[in-house]
Amino acid sequence: MPYPKPRPPKFKLQVQEDDTDHRLWHDVRAPDGKLLVFDREDEARAKLGELFPVLVGLEKYAAGPKRTRVIVMPGDEEDGEDR
């Protein structure tokens, strides 16, 4: 009996907006409140650079701690679900 093929992973954006607590990361959401989810990592990274150009630019030059990231979500998780 063949196993169902897993769906490809999705990608979401996270940002750390609190300088005082480097453990708190927040999902980036669209203006309508839905989680921004991408099918391709390069699309996610481009949107991250568009939304947070200063933070992404600083990270390229290692000017402080990392404050943005792209997270891989397993393909079987529901889009838009809070985690």
pLDDT for res 48: 94
Indicate the pTM of the whole model: 0.74
Are residues 24 and 16 in contact, defined by beta-carbon separation less than 8 angstroms? yes
Total number of domains constituting the chain: 1
Q: Is 79 within a domain?
A: no
Tens of pLDDT along the chain (83 residues)? 688 888 889 999 999 877 777 788 999 999 999 999 999 999 999 999 999 998 888 887 776 678 899 999 986 654 444 43
Residue 76 neighbours by CB distance under 10 Å: 10
Q: Is 23 within a domain?
A: yes
Q: Which domain holds residue 19?
A: 10-73
Q: Is 41 within a domain?
A: yes
